[in-house]
Structure 1
Amino acid sequence: MKGVLLVNLGSPDSTEVKDVKKYLDEFLMDERVIDVPWLLRAFIVRGIILRTRPKNSAEAYKRIWWEEGSPLIVLSERLQEKVQELVSVPVALAMRYGNPSLESGLKELRQKGVTEVLLVPLYPQFAMATTETILVLAEKLRKKHFPEMSFTTMPAFYNHPDYVRVLSASVQEELQNREWDHLLFSYHGVPERHIKKSDITKSHCKIDGSCCNNPSPAHRFCYRHQCYETTKQVASYLGLKEGTYSTSFQSRLGKDPWLQPYTDQTVAGFAEKGTKKMAIVTPAFVSDCLETLEEIGMEAKEDFLEKGGEEFYVIPCLNDREDWVKVLARWMDEWADQ
């Protein structure tokens, strides 16, 4: 019997500092998030970051927390429920970090008789710290607890025509009755070394502004290329003029070089140069979360307005939009019918 496991990033169980600290420890101690030897990672995370960051992060979570709980969890649950109504196979939900765990999601499917699982990482673009870490943990759990199961993974859908169409529609709907000067596509940032580590050719990715435009097998796992390609295809779909849109990367950590340009500097720069009305979309996320609601919707907006901007439109993630739900359901049905 076939079944589907939707997997998103995750969230603390509450805004209490202890819960945020527990979540951050699981997240940041992942070797595909901070990819250094374990002892050094433990020193950085547990010896430095977790001494101060949980309190600050807890305050940030409090700013965006809903009465029902974490926005990311609530929105993911709504998505799962709506998709389940449209497909005949069981659909479970899991988070890579926090609850509901990957193990609990697989247990739920096993209890329903599922032996063939379609893993659906809810990330349009492939990255070490997102899709890859889900697949690695899922396989580890399969070998240990679910040997009777087999997994199929939905590939990155950053350039799938259905995804491009739905994402474009969400942008168009938000901006059609508004005046705007510039549209920024802001993606979650990753260290530059992650791009080179994911290069299956071991030679193509140079992050020099040109390699992402030159066809290569490396693009299958190149987060940077996939982000720029998403921007390119949405801009083409919407007929956006050159100069009216751009791409940036947010949420960097530490002093190592991360993908640039940085979103915070980009937003501030546009305001300082006279841009008055800015719109921003976050296509690395399908569900609104701390990075979209607080980092973009609050911090970036406040910075833009303080530096002279007048209007800052944040376009919601796809969340549980009906057209997105239908697309996901169709992809699942196509797999289930194979």
Structure 2
Amino acid sequence: MSKGVLLVNLGSPKSTDPKDVKEYLDEFLMDERVIDVPYWARVLLVRGIVLNTRPKKSAAAYQKIWWDEGSPLIVLSERLQEKMDKNTSVPIALAMRYGEPSIKSGLQELHDKGVDEVLLFPLYPQFAMATTETILVLAEQLRKEHFPKMQFTAVPPFYNHADYIRVLAESIAEKLKGKDFQHLLFSYHGVPERHIRKSDVTKSHCKIDGSCCQTPSAAHQFCYRHQCYETTRLVAEYLELKENSYSVSFQSRLGFDPWLQPYTDRTIERFGKQGMKKLAIVTPAFVSDCLETLEEIAMEGEEIFHEVGGEEFTVVPCLNDRDDWVKVLSRWVDEWAHQKPVEA
């Protein structure tokens, strides 16, 4: 069989035009694994309310971070794909869960190259319904409809893989070298609390009570919250961070249902009000810089911090197309291509 890899990231609007942003948000927010309510309620919420107000606001945010080459997320993902393609023994294609290039077009690209065994590679370190799961579900639907002879293997979440932890930790150390920061905040993308409970294969372990994430359980295989805290613990261990010199928060909530806490914006505000002057922040739920890191954290987060008396706000870039990250991913791909398991 001929092998190939499909890297899959989140996606982006085609441009900063509100019409393109609206089209993108419609595809994104109408995904039943992103807003997991009945279809009629999703239509009412998304198309009846959100899409009448949010596209203009989101378009303005995208305009702040848009590059000459296009969307930072797309450009950075393309750079990663191009570097990996040069460093692996099998073809590497790129796709986005929402927008273009689509998962279907990515699979078609591999199919046209004679590939019939595909390594699906969601570019998310931690598992979540709204990220990893929705990619794998859609890819399987497309396989059945358009590529029935293809076989899929999926890369498991790599939140605790030693290679990932090393590269992430060293990227943090590089950025913070020589900086006298007081606290390192690990900000992860938020998800509704109900997503954690829905993903609990034991149907009883996940209580989001402060202790369940530290108690061994089969639920952790699909528990986003546990995996975020575990990434943080391992990086802190690698960097030998002192206790209380780092913490975890969650960003980008939507709607009125409870989401994972503490919230990043409120945490930044609290630190500033408590007298903290030098804060560093890293966003390990993302491997590519995007709206959530470049605008929500690096711009809005810094503004909040300065408004409440903070002085230095240092943002650690995502791994993007770092050479050491490319080397790790390329090795994982070649291990799979040569029948060695890709293990977390």
Map of 1:143 onto structure 2:
144
Deviations 1:254-295 (A, max 9, x none): 000000000000000000000000000000000000000000
SS in 2 for 1:202: coil
Map of 1:31 onto structure 2:
32
Map of 2:91 onto structure 1:
90
Q: Distance in 1 between matches of 2:91 and 2:301?
A: 39
Q: Distance in 1 between matches of 2:335 and 2:218?
A: 26
Map of 2:165 onto structure 1:
164
| Total equivalences in the alignment | 338
> How do 1:105-184 residues align onto structure 2 when only pairs under 5 Å count?
105-184=106-185
Give, as a single letter, the amino acid of the residue that structure 2 aligns with 1:294: E
Q: Distance in 1 between matches of 2:238 and 2:167?
A: 11
Map of 1:324 onto structure 2:
325
Deviations 1:66-113 (A, max 9, x none): 000000000000000001110010100000000000000000000000
Map of 2:247 onto structure 1:
246
SS in 2 for 1:261: coil
Give, as a single letter, the amino acid of the residue that structure 2 aligns with 1:303: I
TM-score by length of 2: 0.98
TM-score by length of 1: 1.00
Give, as a single letter, the amino acid of the residue that structure 2 aligns with 1:124: P
SS in 2 for 1:173: helix
Give, in angstroms, the shift of residue 179 of structure 1.
1.0
Give, as a single letter, the amino acid of the residue that structure 2 aligns with 1:297: A
SS in 2 for 1:316: coil
SS in 1 for 2:119: strand
Q: Is 1:47 paired with 2:48? A: yes
Q: Distance in 2 between matches of 1:242 and 1:179?
A: 16
> How do 1:171-320 residues align onto structure 2 when only pairs under 5 Å count?
171-320=172-321
Q: Distance in 1 between matches of 2:324 and 2:89?
A: 18
Give, as a single letter, the amino acid of the residue that structure 1 aligns with 2:12: S
Q: Distance in 1 between matches of 2:269 and 2:150?
A: 49
> How do 1:48-87 residues align onto structure 2 when only pairs under 5 Å count?
48-87=49-88
Q: Distance in 2 between matches of 1:88 and 1:210?
A: 44
Q: Distance in 2 between matches of 1:19 and 1:112?
A: 31
Give, as a single letter, the amino acid of the residue that structure 2 aligns with 1:301: E
Give, as a single letter, the amino acid of the residue that structure 1 aligns with 2:268: V
Report the aligned-residue RMSD: 0.3
Q: Distance in 2 between matches of 1:318 and 1:178?
A: 20
SS in 2 for 1:324: helix
Give, as a single letter, the amino acid of the residue that structure 1 aligns with 2:324: D
Q: Distance in 2 between matches of 1:306 and 1:245?
A: 22
Moved over 2 A (4+): none
Give, in angstroms, the shift of residue 11 of structure 1.
0.1
Give, in angstroms, the shift of residue 177 of structure 1.
1.4
Give, in angstroms, the shift of residue 176 of structure 1.
1.0
Give, as a single letter, the amino acid of the residue that structure 2 aligns with 1:147: P
Q: Distance in 2 between matches of 1:234 and 1:305?
A: 27
Give, as a single letter, the amino acid of the residue that structure 2 aligns with 1:62: Q
Q: Distance in 2 between matches of 1:191 and 1:306?
A: 28
Q: Distance in 2 between matches of 1:42 and 1:133?
A: 19
SS in 2 for 1:242: coil
Q: Distance in 2 between matches of 1:290 and 1:176?
A: 26
SS in 1 for 2:124: coil
User: Between the two proteins, what is the percent identity of the paired residues?
Assistant: 74
Deviations 1:22-72 (A, max 9, x none): 000000000000000000000000000000000000000000000000000
SS in 1 for 2:292: helix
Give, in angstroms, the shift of residue 4 of structure 1.
0.1
Give, as a single letter, the amino acid of the residue that structure 1 aligns with 2:170: A
Deviations 1:171-200 (A, max 9, x none): 000001111000000000000000000000
Deviations 1:201-259 (A, max 9, x none): 00000000000000000000000000000000000000000110000000000000000
Q: Distance in 2 between matches of 1:271 and 1:235?
A: 22
Give, as a single letter, the amino acid of the residue that structure 2 aligns with 1:221: F
SS in 1 for 2:96: strand
Q: Distance in 2 between matches of 1:218 and 1:276?
A: 39
Give, as a single letter, the amino acid of the residue that structure 2 aligns with 1:202: K
Q: Distance in 2 between matches of 1:37 and 1:255?
A: 17
Gaps of 5+ in 1: none
SS in 2 for 1:94: strand
Map of 2:342 onto structure 1:
none
SS in 2 for 1:48: helix
Give, as a single letter, the amino acid of the residue that structure 1 aligns with 2:35: I
